[in-house]
């Protein structure tokens, strides 16, 4: 238990509760992206197949169609850089926490993939999922996916919520503090169990044009920027 965090949260609870309700009421709730959740750039058999799983970022919230989202943009980046055919697929649910995502994935019809990336942490941050429970659920996810996807799972860094313009202070600060704790857990797992997990970070989006109109999710420009950063890490695999 992270005692300083919980003591601070308890002391500020009335303010946090008020600000949370107000932010939820005033922040536009954007829909998930529409269209085909998978595709391919280039002809012939793909040399690399990318699968992204997770919450709103995987669901493409902030853009209209999935081909503007992270999985598609990452595949496009790699295709343009390597000239190789790259396939992509995304499976995301807006607002979901990791425990419920595991339940969804248990019955999901997912395609074959060479690279699996997980975009999670924001909803478990706002939902105050305990770190021990979150860690356990990550292990459950790994066990669930391991028979079909033996390569280690890429854990995308938890967004720095203390920079989210849609949240007022001190709520923004508390959420940012919690997000850093879960992100640190990602790093620890990648260090301890590299055969099971890898950690992939990407630069913080500071340009307002990289955010959707809710000030919370990436815009099409934001998804492209994240894809460019991740492509730098994956280009060697694709090549």
Least confident span in 24-28, 40-44, 123-127, 200-204: 24-28
User: What's the pLDDT score for residue 204?
Assistant: 80
> How does pLDDT run across 49-107, given as a tens digit for each residue?
999 999 999 999 999 999 999 999 999 999 999 999 999 999 999 999 999 999 999 99
With the C-alpha atoms ordered 91, 94, 100, 103, is the resulting torsion angle positive or negative? negative
User: What's the pLDDT score for residue 141?
Assistant: 98
211 band by pLDDT with thresholds 50, 70 and 90: confident
Question: What average pLDDT score do residues 106-111 get?
Answer: 94
**Alpha helix ranges (H) inside 31-130:** 56-59, 70-82, 98-106, 122-126
Least confident span in 12-16, 61-65, 227-231: 12-16
25 band by pLDDT with thresholds 50, 70 and 90: confident
**Which of 55, 30, 46 has its CA nearest to residue 105?**
55
33 band by pLDDT with thresholds 50, 70 and 90: very high
Which residues on adjacent β-strands are paired with residue 90?
52
Compute the distance between CA of residue 135 and CA of residue 39 in angstroms, rounded to an integer: 32
Compute the distance between CA of residue 51 and CA of residue 110 in angstroms, rounded to an integer: 9
Q: Strand ranges (DSSP E) for 99-150?
A: 115-119
Question: What average pLDDT score do residues 216-238 get?
Answer: 88
Question: What average pLDDT score do residues 148-172 get?
Answer: 88
1 band by pLDDT with thresholds 50, 70 and 90: low
Which residues on adjacent β-strands are paired with residue 155?
118, 199
> How does pLDDT run across 125-157, given as a tens digit for each residue?
999 999 999 999 999 999 999 999 999 999 999
Q: What residue ranges define each of the domains in the chain, with the CATH number in brackets?
A: 3-238 (3.40.50.1110)
Question: What average pLDDT score do residues 198-215 get?
Answer: 86
Contact present, 49 and 87 (Cβ < 8 Å) = yes
Residue with tokens 């919520």: 161
Per the model's pLDDT, the better-predicted residue between 28 and 180 turns out to be: 180
User: What's the pLDDT score for residue 238?
Assistant: 54
Q: What percent of the chain has pLDDT over 90?
A: 70
pTM of the predicted model as reported, rounded to 2 decimal places: 0.93
User: What's the pLDDT score for residue 175?
Assistant: 87
Compute the distance between CA of residue 235 and CA of residue 229 in angstroms, rounded to an integer: 10
Mean pLDDT of the chain: 92
178 band by pLDDT with thresholds 50, 70 and 90: very high
């Amino acid at each position: 238990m992270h005692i300083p965090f919980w003591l601070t949260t308890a002391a500020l609870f009335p303010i946090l509760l008020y600000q949370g309700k107000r932010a939820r009421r005033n922040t536009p709730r954007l829909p998930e992206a529409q269209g085909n959740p998978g595709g391919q750039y280039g002809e012939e058999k793909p040399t690399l197949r990318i699968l992204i799983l997770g919450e709103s970022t995987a669901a493409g919230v902030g853009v209209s169609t999935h081909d503007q989202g992270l999985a598609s943009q990452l595949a496009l980046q790699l295709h343009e850089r390597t000239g190789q055919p790259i396939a992509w697929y995304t499976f995301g649910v807006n607002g979901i926490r990791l425990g419920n995502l595991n339940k969804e994935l248990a019955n999901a019809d997912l395609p074959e993939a060479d690279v699996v990336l997980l975009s999670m942490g924001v909803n478990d941050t706002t939902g105050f999922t305990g770190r021990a429970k979150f860690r356990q659920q990550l292990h459950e996810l790994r066990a669930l996916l391991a028979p079909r996807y033996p390569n280690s799972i890429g854990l995308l860094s938890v967004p720095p919520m203390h920079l989210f313009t849609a949240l007022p202070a001190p709520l923004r600060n508390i959420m940012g503090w919690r997000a850093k704790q879960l992100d640190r857990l990602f790093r620890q797992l990648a260090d301890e169990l590299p055969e099971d997990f890898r950690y992939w970070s990407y630069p913080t989006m500071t340009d307002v044009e990289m955010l959707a109109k809710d000030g919370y999710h990436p815009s099409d420009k934001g998804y492209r920027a994240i894809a460019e950063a991740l492509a730098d890490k994956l280009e060697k695999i694709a090549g």
